[in-house]
Structure 1
Amino acid sequence: MILQPNKESRSSSVHDARVALGKRLRELRVEAGLSGKQLAASLSWQASKVSKLENGRQTPSDDDIRAWTRATGRDVETDGLLASLHTLEVQYAEWRRLLRAGVHNRQSELGELDQRTRFFRVFEATVVPGLLQTAEYARYRFADAIRVLRLETDLDAAVAGRMKRQDMFYRPDKRFHFVLTEAALRFRLCPPEVMLGQLDRLVSLSALPNVKLGIVGFETTYTTAPWHGFWIFDDDHVAVETYSAGLKLAQPHEIELYSGVFKELATVASYGRAARNILTRVIDDVAAEATDSE
């Protein structure tokens, strides 16, 4: 079933996150032995502001968070609370809103993120990651998104943008660690001849000195279930894509969790000659299929 963007669910998600943040602020105030009026007075705020923040009726600013932790003597909590705040409005971004200006604009935004990131850790269970895609494979992926989400058709510009992003593979200050399942290499998401070119591209990119490509073969026993794909950008945030939304997870415990999951998935993956053996096996099967279809 394809999930459609749901404004009500997004609103509920943001509200719940705001309430959770307010609850944590209240806990810090209570632990400090301060009443709402006392805290407000120490910060030269209206007493109603403390109530609104604690009950999730108002979103705090960065300065509000810093003032609150300083007044309650819990500066150690500042970074975590700021991460929660920054995640609040952006962790659930509907694809229709995000891609309203066109798929190619999204590629430009990702290009800016690419410039800031030094270490990419990527796990995909069902598709070849965008940075590893050939233009032909990317065209099928974008066409699928445009059809499902009823987006503006800027297919050529989107493909060109994705290809442009791949220039950074040749920058020595960038490192990449990709882990793919064998299923991602076998799902029929494009014609066999397109998939053959994609598989050949993976072989070539895996030889680059700053690219580490791991493949989890069908015969592998997992220690952690491959529930969904995700990208880790340095230790800054984790990106997760669903049919209807993109999640940006930036809280320290979320980054730590996904880093641990990535490590477990990477540990059971095959690399080097073993990975190429899996690729060769898949290439032979897809080539046979392409021959049969002629």
Structure 2
Amino acid sequence: MSTDYQQARSALGARLRELRYSRPEGRLTGTQLAQHLGWTNSKVSKLENGRQTATPEDLRAWAEATGHPAAYEELEARLRGFESHIRSWRRQLARGHRPVQETWQEEFGRSRIIHAWEESVVAGMLQTAEYARHVFIRYAELQNSVRDTEDAVRARMKQQEWLYEPGRKLRILMWEAALHAQICPRPVLAAQLDRLASAIGLDTVELGIVPLDAPLKISPANGFWVLDERIVITEDWHAELWLDDDESVTGYLKVWNTLRESAVYGTDAHRVIGRARSALDAR
């Protein structure tokens, strides 16, 4: 978790404690507040000490219980501020995958050039509907989130219209391992590999594959997207990170360019995809 994020969460916790202390009817102890809200004592302690992120519902309940209902808007604005950079999957997927995909589509719509690196799955902008379906199902199972698979697939397919708009450019790098990852049945992966091969012919796509046996200058770590050199979106198992400071954008582009030195393109990329296809057929 980033230092900035933790500092913001700690500051929110200090503000919550201040509201508890300044209740108009007199200070509440942490135990009294927990009993009033039907929470555990540890939840109150964690929120006040920045060890747990409050939900908007938590903040509203806290504001009302401490006699400061008008403070909710301020508290919620603080929460929005630091979660705009670290967006937990628990919150994002509370309404399913479709809203997340629509947020990405909005950002894509604002972008002309996208640099991307994917090390474990085929990039969403190049996925078939059936491959995307299996990806969403797996992640919904992992996160125990709302199952809106078909809506999410439609939203992802809608994103791909970006590839057919003049003036756009997707500069995508993928590790060969992503071509072998069987997150879906073999026939689905086979069709996905065929789709990937056909994308090499699109004038809006520059597809580079980093072969498994290619010399590497850096480790092929987690995937990321850089949109118009103004924002980086990357993810971990707990959250997406949206980074818009110049230092982060520059750093991720340096990573992308370093990985690019190990990539192959055109006929050589076709050959790597064909190798994955042959390995799949041989199993």
Which TM-score applies when normalising by structure 1? 0.69
**Could you say which residue in structure 2 is the equivalent of 1:99?**
93
Tell me whether 1:14 sits opposite 2:5 in the alignment: yes
What's the secondary structure of 1:109's corresponding residue? helix
**Could you say which residue in structure 2 is the equivalent of 1:273?**
267
**Could you say which residue in structure 2 is the equivalent of 1:286?**
280
C-alpha RMSD of matched pairs (Å): 2.1
User: Once superposed, which parts of structure 1, at least 4 consecutive aligned residues long, lie more than 2 Å away?
Assistant: 12-20, 86-89
Match of 1:118 among 88, 112, 120: 112
Maintained 8 Å contact 1:87/1:249: no
- Post-superposition shift, 1:18? 7.8
The letter of the residue matching 1:276 is H
- Post-superposition shift, 1:98? 1.3
**Could you say which residue in structure 2 is the equivalent of 1:262?**
256
Maintained 8 Å contact 1:217/1:278: yes
The letter of the residue matching 2:174 is L
* Alignment partners' CA distance in 2, 1:123 and 1:196: 21
Deviates most, 96-105 or 231-240: 96-105
Match of 2:192 among 173, 195, 198: 198
* Alignment partners' CA distance in 1, 2:267 and 2:6: 50
Match of 1:170 among 159, 164, 167: 164
Match of 2:218 among 213, 219, 224: 224
The letter of the residue matching 2:6 is H
The letter of the residue matching 1:99 is L
Provide Cα deviations, 1:2-53, integer angstroms capped at 9, x if missing partner.
Answer: xxxxxxx69x862326899xxxxxxxxxxxxxxxxxxxxxxxxxxxxxxxxx
* Alignment partners' CA distance in 2, 1:101 and 1:189: 23
* Alignment partners' CA distance in 2, 1:158 and 1:170: 20
Maintained 8 Å contact 1:230/1:239: yes
**Could you say which residue in structure 2 is the equivalent of 1:186?**
180
* Alignment partners' CA distance in 2, 1:87 and 1:152: 25
The letter of the residue matching 1:215 is I
The letter of the residue matching 1:226 is P
- Post-superposition shift, 1:149? 0.8
Unaligned runs of 5+ in 1: 1-8, 21-85, 290-294
* Alignment partners' CA distance in 2, 1:273 and 1:15: 47
Maintained 8 Å contact 1:87/1:250: no
* Alignment partners' CA distance in 1, 2:114 and 2:235: 16
Tell me whether 1:153 sits opposite 2:147 in the alignment: yes
What's the secondary structure of 1:213's corresponding residue? strand
* Alignment partners' CA distance in 2, 1:93 and 1:106: 10
Residues 99 and 276 from structure 1, CA distance in 2 versus in 1: closer, same or farther, beyond 3 angstroms?
same
Unaligned runs of 5+ in 2: 12-79
Identity within the alignment, %: 34
- Post-superposition shift, 1:233? 0.7
What's the secondary structure of 1:221's corresponding residue? coil
- Post-superposition shift, 1:284? 0.9
The letter of the residue matching 2:188 is V
Residues 247 and 133 from structure 1, CA distance in 2 versus in 1: closer, same or farther, beyond 3 angstroms?
same
Provide Cα deviations, 1:202-252, integer angstroms capped at 9, x if missing partner.
Answer: 011111011000001111000121111111111111111111100111111
The letter of the residue matching 2:7 is D
- Post-superposition shift, 1:171? 0.5
**Could you say which residue in structure 1 is the equivalent of 2:102?**
108
